[in-house]
């Protein structure tokens, strides 16, 4: 019997959907594989504030999920940071059992990022993927600083919200699935809108193996 | 909202979840550091303003303009004196590359930096005692050959470093090109005399009528001094290689001006004078010719229009205003006359290359133009005279061979100024010679202290351009014009043509400075920050600090910084500034259902226990 928790840390408004795409697609793939799956967002964080830290949760289990009405992951073994600076901000490692995986969207190397991680001894691997580059994202995530200038526009928002992982979520999903095997690649790949970025990420991961064995 | 995971100090414990102390409450903000929202961090970093960068001696122009704005004239004068020994001279004669580079030139009109410098220089001249003092004596002696801009600058900097400096000057009066190459109506002699007095006050000995190779030998320089700076300049005028150039009535530009400057001139000009050449010296000669009695002055240049002439445009404009005629596209091929000049023979000519120093192609197939004149002044550049220099130190251009530090081989001899800069692509201007003299003086100091000479570390990474700045804050203001004598009256006198700024004018002009890339305490960031996270102990340049625990990286201060001093740096480039917060707001760790247990039972408690529920 296996039970796995995945927590995604992201930022309110500007990359809220990316976090949601990750947990939703992993949970959906899990259900297709016959697992019990759950995905939800955390509204304690007040995610409707630009740049505010928000969390998205996903759970996969072979048996029925007992704590289905608990709205936070207490022991996530996989943590994804959708924006690199979040590595400095929160204790996202809290509750992680030994053998966890941390995936960060960054152009820095895992060696550089490791210095910011609280409690790295629990990690089995630190995975860095330059998702903004792989997804050829225009400016929103790569030059975050310019957000303040252009956040009034909602141009293209409706089209974007229909597709699953049209942007930087695709490489991050690839990183999670390839390094942890939480779901099968062939189950999740058909759901992803940006398949080019998804496939490119499979070759472009920077994985730093650490002390623990992958849980 | 809950306060889960956050350490709450006792004095902030609240009886009910969801009650958040307002940030304005005393120390209430300590509870909710919002700095972890930030992905970029605003950083104050002063950058190189374009004026400082363009200046031949890298004067801190933005710095002294800022001080003039605040009425701190003496501080401004002291700042200028760090790099420039004679601001009253360059305030009059400089070709102001700073003003060409000035960012304000793209907005409305460049700052009149030279006029403010002159204001400060004149202020310094009026002081009973200079602000600069000689350094603690090192007991070492340095000879400086030549008292022109480069020699003056090197001697000045060496005296400030504590060396006993002796200037050897071949003319009867010190000043070099400042005295001999610049007419009185640009730089009055008494201004230069005062600056040379200042140099003597600093402890520099000036030996006039002392020529190297005649009065002092190379070996004497080598044996009597610990080091020697050769700033001899270019003394010999170039010839145009025309037939009959040796006739009476043919003068050369620099000796013509030098003799007038030294008061030894015997030249009497006839009514018609021609000037050959299109540079700054030629312009000075043409304007001086009027003051020496000429009625008609014609300038003959090989350049085919005024744009190609290698001169300062303002001076060209003033010259034309005084009535000098221009003849473009001709070269003088012969001087006609019996013993004296009657006429010139001119042939169409052009430069064969893109630059003015390239060879001239003269078209001799057409008949020459006969141009009747009484005198001709040839001002087509100078070359050095270095018979006294040992052959091993000469290079193929006929000047002194120096390394990157201005040093002659492994000796304690250095060279500075036009003598090394000719042919290097540097304009041969006063301010460039001053800068060269300054740098060489520092190199001499290092050698005499036994330190290694290292290539100058250039601390310039960014030269601020307009794109980095916020132009919304700068309304258009015209440049404060310097008053000038009328062309008709000034062309017969030696009175100074351009007039000085008054104090009000200098402050008004300094106020136009953008302070490109440099914090000038405008308080804008302090005012626009939506969080109270920019602090300052007092309103002063560069004293602003950012409370990174609360800065959300919204970029408002960066976008609104008028001078472009603030910049956004990715937060991850810093190892510091980790603000760990568990999550937004929750009183205890764990789940909400569990967390609120005490609270759920709260209504069941007696009233007095509710007051002291913890």
pLDDT in tens, B371-422: 899 999 999 888 888 888 888 888 887 788 888 888 988 899 999 998 888 7
Strand order through the sheet with B250-252: B250-252, B375-378, B272-276, B296-301, B325-328
The Cα B6–Cα B380 span in angstroms is 80
Nearest chain A CA: its distance from B591 CA (Å): 7
> Over 80: is that where the pLDDT of A154 sits?
no
* Contact indicator for A43, A63 with CB cutoff of 8 Å: no
Interface test with A, best of B2, B3, B4, B39 (most A CBs within 10 A): B39
By CB atoms closer than 10 A (0-12, 13-18, 19+), residue B19 is: exposed
Residue in B39, B558, B572 closest to A108 by CB: B572
Report the chain A residue with the minimal C-alpha distance to residue B593: A70
pLDDT value of residue B153? 95
Residue in A11, A90, A149 closest to B580 by CB: A90
What CATH number corresponds to the domain at position A93? 3.40.920.10
Q: Evaluate whether residue A214 is within a structural domain.
A: no
> Over 70: is that where the pLDDT of B605 sits?
no
Asked whether the beta carbons of residue A90 and residue B36 sit closer than 8 angstroms, the reply is yes
Residue in A91, A116, A146 closest to B582 by CB: A91
Interface test with A, best of B37, B559, B586, B594 (most A CBs within 10 A): B37
| B589 chain-A contacts, CB cut-off 8 A | 94
Which of the four pLDDT bands, split at 50, 70 and 90, describes residue B188? very high
Helices (runs of H) and strands (runs of E) counted in chain B: 23, 20
Q: How many CB pairs under 8 A join A and B?
A: 90
Query: What six digits make up the tokens of A54?
Result: 């928000």
SS3 readout for B484-538: ECCHHHHCCCCCCCECCCCHHHHHHHHHCCCCCCCCCCCCHHHHHCCCCCEECCC
- Residue with the two structure tokens 């956050």: B6
> Over 60: is that where the pLDDT of B261 sits?
yes
Q: Evaluate whether residue A16 is within a structural domain.
A: yes
| B590 chain-A contacts, CB cut-off 8 A | 74
Its pTM stands at 0.82
Which of the four pLDDT bands, split at 50, 70 and 90, describes residue B36? confident
| A112 chain-B contacts, CB cut-off 8 A | 572
| B591 chain-A contacts, CB cut-off 8 A | 70-72, 74
Report the chain A residue with the minimal C-alpha distance to residue B1: A44
B34-46+517-580 folds as Alpha-Beta Plaits (3.30.70)
The Cα B110–Cα B51 span in angstroms is 10
Nearest chain B CA: its distance from A198 CA (Å): 25
Residue in B556, B582, B591 closest to A94 by CB: B582
Which residue from B87, B78, B94, B132 is spatially nearest to B432, judged by alpha carbons?
Answer: B94
User: Which of the residue ranges B334-343, B394-403, B438-447, B532-541 has the most confident prediction, judged by mean pLDDT?
Assistant: B438-447
> Over 90: is that where the pLDDT of B151 sits?
yes
The residues that bridge with B407 in the sheet, in sequence order, are B414
What value does the mean pLDDT of chain B take? 85
Asked whether the beta carbons of residue B579 and residue A89 sit closer than 8 angstroms, the reply is yes
Nearest chain A CA: its distance from B331 CA (Å): 59
Query: What six digits make up the tokens of B490?
Result: 């000034």
Q: Where are the alpha helices (DSSP H) in A43-164?
A: 110-114, 131-134, 147-150, 157-162
B50-130+464-511 folds as Fumarate Reductase Iron-sulfur Protein; Chain B, domain 2 (1.10.1060)
Residue in A11, A44, A85 closest to B583 by CB: A44
Which of the four pLDDT bands, split at 50, 70 and 90, describes residue B595? very low
HSE of A9 in the Cβ direction (CA atoms, 13 Å)? 29
Query: What six digits make up the tokens of B537?
Result: 């102990």
> Over 80: is that where the pLDDT of B457 sits?
no
Please tell me the total count of domains within chain A: 1
- Find the Cα–Cα–Cα–Cα dihedral B514, B516, B521, B525, rounded to 10°: 100
Residue in B568, B578, B590 closest to A116 by CB: B578
Range in A60-74, A106-120, B95-109, B556-570 with the lowest mean pLDDT? A60-74
pLDDT value of residue B543? 87
Nearest chain B CA: its distance from A148 CA (Å): 6
Query: What six digits make up the tokens of B395?
Result: 């290079």
B141-235+384-448 folds as FAD/NAD(P)-binding domain (3.50.50)
Interface of B with A (CB under 8 A): 1-2, 4-5, 36-40, 552-556, 558-559, 568, 570-572, 575, 577-586, 589-593
pLDDT value of residue B493? 86
Residue in B38, B578, B583 closest to A45 by CB: B583
The Cα B470–Cα B103 span in angstroms is 12
Structure letter (DSSP) for residue A9: E
Strands B566-570 and B40-44: antiparallel
Residue in B5, B552, B591 closest to A51 by CB: B552
C-alpha distances in angstroms, B345 versus B243, B275, B352, B364? 9, 13, 21, 11
Residue in B571, B580, B591 closest to A118 by CB: B580
Residues B130-166 as b/e (b if ≥16 CB within 10 A, e otherwise) read bebebbeebebbbbbbbbbbbbbbbbbbbbbbbbbbb
Report the chain B residue with the minimal C-alpha distance to residue A141: B39
CB-based contacts of B402, cutoff 8 Å, min separation 6: B408, B414, B415, B420
Residue in A52, A85, A115 closest to B571 by CB: A85
* Contact indicator for B145, B168 with CB cutoff of 8 Å: yes
The Cα B142–Cα B589 span in angstroms is 75
Nearest chain A CA: its distance from B600 CA (Å): 18
Q: Is B368 left (phi over 0), alpha (psi -120 to 50) or beta?
A: beta
Range of the domain at A186: 3-209
| B592 chain-A contacts, CB cut-off 8 A | 44, 71-72
Asked whether the beta carbons of residue A88 and residue B1 sit closer than 8 angstroms, the reply is no
pLDDT in tens, B16-32: 444 444 545 454 455 56
> Over 70: is that where the pLDDT of B78 sits?
yes
Range in B50-64, B68-82, B532-546 with the lowest mean pLDDT? B532-546
Helices (runs of H) and strands (runs of E) counted in chain A: 8, 7
pLDDT value of residue B180? 84
The Cα B294–Cα B249 span in angstroms is 13
Residue in B4, B572, B575 closest to A85 by CB: B572
pLDDT value of residue B29? 52
> Over 80: is that where the pLDDT of B10 sits?
no
Report domain extents, chain B: 1-28+587-614, 34-46+517-580, 50-130+464-511, 141-235+384-448, 240-379
Same fold for the pair B141-235+384-448 and B240-379: yes
The kind and range of the H/E element at B398 are none
pLDDT value of residue B203? 93
B240-379 folds as FAD/NAD(P)-binding domain (3.50.50)
The Cα B35–Cα B115 span in angstroms is 47
* Contact indicator for B478, B109 with CB cutoff of 8 Å: yes
Helix, strand or coil, per DSSP, at residue B602: helix
Residue B314's φ and ψ, nearest 5 degrees, are -60, -45
Please give the residue that has the higher pLDDT: either B373 or B3: B373
Helix, strand or coil, per DSSP, at residue B419: helix
| A116 chain-B contacts, CB cut-off 8 A | 572, 578
- How many residues appear in chain A? 215
Q: Is B515 left (phi over 0), alpha (psi -120 to 50) or beta?
A: left
Which residue from B610, B590, B596, B578 is spatially nearest to B41, judged by alpha carbons?
Answer: B578
Asked whether the beta carbons of residue B584 and residue A89 sit closer than 8 angstroms, the reply is no
The Cα B330–Cα B300 span in angstroms is 6
Report the chain B residue with the minimal C-alpha distance to residue A50: B37
pLDDT in tens, B277-315: 888 899 999 999 999 888 999 999 988 888 888 888 888
Which residue from B183, B200, B193, B68 is spatially nearest to B134, judged by alpha carbons?
Answer: B200
Which residue from B327, B330, B336, B328 is spatially nearest to B360, judged by alpha carbons?
Answer: B330
User: What average pLDDT score do residues B241-259 get?
Assistant: 86
Asked whether the beta carbons of residue B579 and residue A51 sit closer than 8 angstroms, the reply is no
Asked whether the beta carbons of residue B584 and residue A94 sit closer than 8 angstroms, the reply is no
Query: What six digits make up the tokens of B583?
Result: 């999550």
Asked whether the beta carbons of residue A145 and residue B592 sit closer than 8 angstroms, the reply is no
By CB atoms closer than 10 A (0-12, 13-18, 19+), residue B107 is: middle
* Contact indicator for B521, B539 with CB cutoff of 8 Å: yes
User: What average pLDDT score do residues B536-550 get?
Assistant: 85
User: Which of the residue ranges B130-139, B233-242, B393-402 has the most confident prediction, judged by mean pLDDT?
Assistant: B130-139
Helix, strand or coil, per DSSP, at residue B328: strand
Residues B288-307 as b/e (b if ≥16 CB within 10 A, e otherwise) read bbbbbebebbbbbbbbeeee
Interface of A with B (CB under 8 A): 11, 44-46, 51-53, 55, 70-72, 74, 83-91, 94, 106, 108, 112-113, 115-116, 118, 144-146, 148-149
The kind and range of the H/E element at A205 are none
The Cα A130–Cα A194 span in angstroms is 15
The kind and range of the H/E element at B373 are none
pLDDT in tens, A28-43: 999 999 999 999 988 7
Asked whether the beta carbons of residue A91 and residue B38 sit closer than 8 angstroms, the reply is no
> Largest Cα–Cα distance of chain B, in whole Å?
129
Asked whether the beta carbons of residue A53 and residue B37 sit closer than 8 angstroms, the reply is yes
| A44 chain-B contacts, CB cut-off 8 A | 1-2, 4, 583-586, 592
Cα A65 to its chain centre, rounded Å, is 21
Which of the four pLDDT bands, split at 50, 70 and 90, describes residue B588? very low
Which of the four pLDDT bands, split at 50, 70 and 90, describes residue B15? very low
């Amino acid at each position: 019997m296996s039970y796995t928790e995945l927590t995604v840390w992201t930022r309110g408004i500007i990359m809220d959907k990316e976090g949601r795409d990750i947990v939703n697609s992993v949970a959906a793939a899990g259900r297709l594989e016959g697992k019990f799956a759950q995905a939800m967002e955390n509204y304690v964080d007040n995610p409707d504030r630009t740049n505010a830290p928000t969390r998205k949760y996903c759970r996969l289990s072979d048996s029925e999920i007992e704590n289905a009405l608990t709205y936070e992951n207490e022991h996530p073994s996989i943590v994804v940071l959708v924006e690199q600076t979040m590595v400095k901000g929160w204790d996202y490692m809290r509750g992680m059992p030994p053998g966890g995986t941390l995936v960060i969207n960054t152009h820095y190397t895992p060696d550089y990022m490791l210095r910011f991680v609280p409690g790295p001894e629990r990690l089995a691997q630190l995975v860095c993927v330059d998702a903004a580059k792989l997804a050829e994202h225009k400016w929103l995530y790569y030059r975050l600083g310019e957000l303040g200038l252009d956040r009034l526009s909602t141009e293209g928002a409706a089209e974007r919200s229909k597709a699953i992982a049209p942007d930087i979520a695709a490489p991050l999903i690839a990183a999670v699935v390839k390094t942890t095997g939480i779901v099968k690649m062939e189950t999740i790949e058909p759901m992803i809108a940006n398949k080019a970025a998804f496939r490119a990420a499979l070759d472009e991961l920077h994985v730093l193996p650490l002390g623990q064995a992958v849980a | 909202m809950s306060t889960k995971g956050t350490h709450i100090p006792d004095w902030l414990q609240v009886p009910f979840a969801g009650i958040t102390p307002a940030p304005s409450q005393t120390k209430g903000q300590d509870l909710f550091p919002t700095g972890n929202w930030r992905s970029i961090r605003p950083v104050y970093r002063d950058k190189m303003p374009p004026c400082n960068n363009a200046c031949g001696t890298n004067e801190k122009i933005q710095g002294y303009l800022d001080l003039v704005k605040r009425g701190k004239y003496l501080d401004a004068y002291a700042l200028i004196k760090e790099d420039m020994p004679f601001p009253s001279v360059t305030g009059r004669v400089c070709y102001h590359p700073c003003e060409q580079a000035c960012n304000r030139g793209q907005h409305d009109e460049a700052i009149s930096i030279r006029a403010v410098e002159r204001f400060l220089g004149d202020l310094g001249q009026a002081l009973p005692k200079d602000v600069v003092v000689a350094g603690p004596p090192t007991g070492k002696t340095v000879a400086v050959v030549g008292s022109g801009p480069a020699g003056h600058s090197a001697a000045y900097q060496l005296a400030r470093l504590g060396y006993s400096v002796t200037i050897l000057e071949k003319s009867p009066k010190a000043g070099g090109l400042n005295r001999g190459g610049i007419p009185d109506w640009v730089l009055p002699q008494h201004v230069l005399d005062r600056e040379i007095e200042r140099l003597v006050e600093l402890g520099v000995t000036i030996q006039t009528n002392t020529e190297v190779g005649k009065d002092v030998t190379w070996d004497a320089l080598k044996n009597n001094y610990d080091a020697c700076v050769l700033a001899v300049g270019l003394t010999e005028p170039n010839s145009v290689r025309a037939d009959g150039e040796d006739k009476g009535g043919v003068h050369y530009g620099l000796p013509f001006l030098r003799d007038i400057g030294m008061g030894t001139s015997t030249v009497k000009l006839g009514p018609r004078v021609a000037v050959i050449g299109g540079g700054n010296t030629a312009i000075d000669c043409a304007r001086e010719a009027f003051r020496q009695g000429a009625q008609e002055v014609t300038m003959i240049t090989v350049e085919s229009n005024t744009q190609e002439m290698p001169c300062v445009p303002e001076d060209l404009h003033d010259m034309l205003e005084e009535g000098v005629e221009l003849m473009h596209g001709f070269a003088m091929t012969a001087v006609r006359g019996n013993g004296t000049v009657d006429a010139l023979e001119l042939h169409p000519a052009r430069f064969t290359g893109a630059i003015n120093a390239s060879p001239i192609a003269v078209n001799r197939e057409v008949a020459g133009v006969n141009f009747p004149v009484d005198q001709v002044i040839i001002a087509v550049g100078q070359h050095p005279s270095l018979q006294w220099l040992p052959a091993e130190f000469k290079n193929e251009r006929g000047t002194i061979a120096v390394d990157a530090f201005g040093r002659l081989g492994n000796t304690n001899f250095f060279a500075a100024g036009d003598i090394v800069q000719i042919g290097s692509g540097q304009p041969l201007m006063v301010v460039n010679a001053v800068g060269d003299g300054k740098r060489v003086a520092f190199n001499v100091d290092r050698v005499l202290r036994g330190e290694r000479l290292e290539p100058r570390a250039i601390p310039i990474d960014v030269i601020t351009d307009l794109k980095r700045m916020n132009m919304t804050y700068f309304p258009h203001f015209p440049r404060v014009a310097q008053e000038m004598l009328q062309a008709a009256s000034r062309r017969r006198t030696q009175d100074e043509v351009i007039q000085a700024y008054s104090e009000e004018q200098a402050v008004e002009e300094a106020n136009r400075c953008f302070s490109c890339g440099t914090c000038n305490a405008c308080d804008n960031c302090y005012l626009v920050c939506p969080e109270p996270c920019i602090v300052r102990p007092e309103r002063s340049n560069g004293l602003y600090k950012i409370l990174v625990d609360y800065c959300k990286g919204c970029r408002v201060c960066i976008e609104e910084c008028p001078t472009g001093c603030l910049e956004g740096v990715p937060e991850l480039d810093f190892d510091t500034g980790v603000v760990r917060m568990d999550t937004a707001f929750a009183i205890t760790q764990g789940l909400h259902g569990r967390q609120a247990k005490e609270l759920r039972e709260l209504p069941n408690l007696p009233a007095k226990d509710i007051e002291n529920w913890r």
